[in-house]
């Protein structure tokens, strides 16, 4: 069993205009183990994506306090690629497009990065695995032959993120708004992919606005985030409650002094 622990995490970003640091995360605490699916829900602008980027090690985000521990060891000094090889995966909301590099060679490079130089994955084994995973996601060979995310629709990009997840098989996957821009059919396909990973050796942190995704990927725990902190945690019922009451309702229940971005 592996664990991922976020301890009193404070994260700032530098404002491009005035060069000043702005605190986005104000002390996040979270602990999860493989075998568990956690969901983080929260209104826009509350720091959900910042949390995922900070865990992954995006240099645009500065950790000013606290720690992130994988199996009890701090990963804050590790560069992004090392964190990934240690077992973290981030399905991104806006994956980069890389022309000239095919999906296939990219995924092989990613898998081989985790293997010894003299023990690279045999082509046949790789292709067999790719076929299997593509089937789960209703994807064709045509997509894998295309350049990485170039000219992909929003839905195709999300599917491609999940394909990479299935191929790489990390310990922990953070899914950053993987449901945004997906229609109901695509949402089911993506959920099927994530659910196929469920098991004792896999944990996932699902970041979403909407309860809908959680109908298909049922979480073990739900956390509600507002203004850079986790304000409430609970079981799957918490997501349902949120759906009924909205973020404003939860805020008022908890007597929080938070202004919601989308509040009129």
Partner 1 sequence: MRPSLQDKYMDDVVQFSHQNNEPDWFTKIRTDNLEKSSDLSLPRYEKINYRSWRLDHPTDFDAASVVTSYEPATSKNYIIQAGGKTLDIHLQPELADKGVILTDIFTAIKDYPELIQKYYMTKVVKADDNKLTAIHAAMMNGGIFLYIPRNVKVKDSIQATFVQDNSIKRDFNQHILLVAEDNSEVTYLENFITSGDAEENKANIVAEVITGDNTHVHYSALDQLSESTTSYLSRRGITGANARIDWAIGFMNDGNVIGDFGTDLLGDGSHTEAKVVAITTGEQVQGIDTKVTNYGRHTIGHILQHGVILESSTLTFNGVGHIVKGARGSDAQQESRVLMLSRHARGDANPILLIDENDVTAGHAASVGRVNEEQMYYLMSRGIDEATAQRLVIRGFLSSVITEIPEAEVRDRLTQMIERKLINGQQ
Least distance in angstroms from the C-beta of 100 to partner 1: 3
- Least separation in angstroms between residue 262's CB and partner 1 is 27
Closest approach, Cβ 62 to partner 1, in A, equals 15
Q: Which is nearer to partner 1, 48 or 83 (CB)?
A: 83
Applying CB under 8 A, the residues found at the interface with partner 1 are 56, 58-59, 79-81, 84-85, 89-90, 92, 95-101, 106, 109-110, 113-114, 147, 164, 168
Q: Which is nearer to partner 1, 91 or 258 (CB)?
A: 91
Could you tell me the smallest distance in angstroms from the CB atom of residue 81 to partner 1? 4
Q: Of 129 and 168, which CB lies nearer to partner 1 in the complex structure?
A: 168
Cβ distance to partner 1 smaller for residue 7 or 85: 85
CB of 180 to partner 1, least distance (A): 17
Nearer to partner 1 by Cβ, of 43 and 57: the residue is 57
Closest to partner 1 by CB, 168 vs 218, is 168
Strands 73-74 and 88-91, how do they pair? unpaired
Shortest gap between Cβ of 85 and partner 1 (angstroms)?
4
Nearest Cα to 262, choosing from 113, 117, 45, 114? Answer: 45
């Amino acid at each position: 069993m592996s664990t991922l622990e976020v301890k009193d995490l404070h994260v700032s970003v530098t404002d491009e205009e005035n060069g000043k640091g702005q605190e986005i995360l104000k002390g996040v605490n979270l602990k999860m183990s493989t075998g568990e699916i956690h969901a983080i829900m929260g209104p826009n602008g509350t720091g959900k994506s910042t949390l995922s980027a900070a865990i992954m090690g995006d240099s645009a985000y500065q950790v000013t306090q606290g720690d992130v521990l994988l199996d009890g060891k701090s990963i804050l000094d590790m560069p992004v690629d090392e964190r990934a090889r240690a077992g973290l995966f981030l399905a991104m909301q806006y994956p980069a497009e890389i022309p000239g590099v095919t999906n296939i060679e990219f995924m092989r490079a990613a898998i081989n990065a985790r293997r010894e130089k003299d023990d690279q994955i045999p082509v046949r084994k790789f292709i067999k695995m790719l076929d299997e995973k593509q089937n789960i996601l209703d994807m064709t060979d045509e997509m894998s032959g295309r350049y990485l995310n170039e000219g992909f629709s929003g839905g195709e990009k999300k599917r491609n993120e999940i394909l990479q997840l299935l191929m790489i098989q990390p310990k922990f996957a953070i899914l950053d708004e993987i449901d945004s821009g997906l229609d109901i059919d695509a949402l089911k396909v993506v959920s099927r992919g994530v659910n196929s990973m469920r098991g004792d050796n896999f944990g996932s942190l699902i970041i979403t606005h909407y309860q809908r995704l959680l109908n298909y990927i049922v979480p073990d725990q739900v956390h509600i985030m507002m203004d850079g902190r986790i304000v409430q945690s609970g079981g799957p019922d918490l997501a349902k409650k949120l759906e009924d009451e909205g973020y404003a309702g939860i805020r008022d229940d908890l007597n929080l002094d938070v202004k919601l971005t989308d509040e009129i």
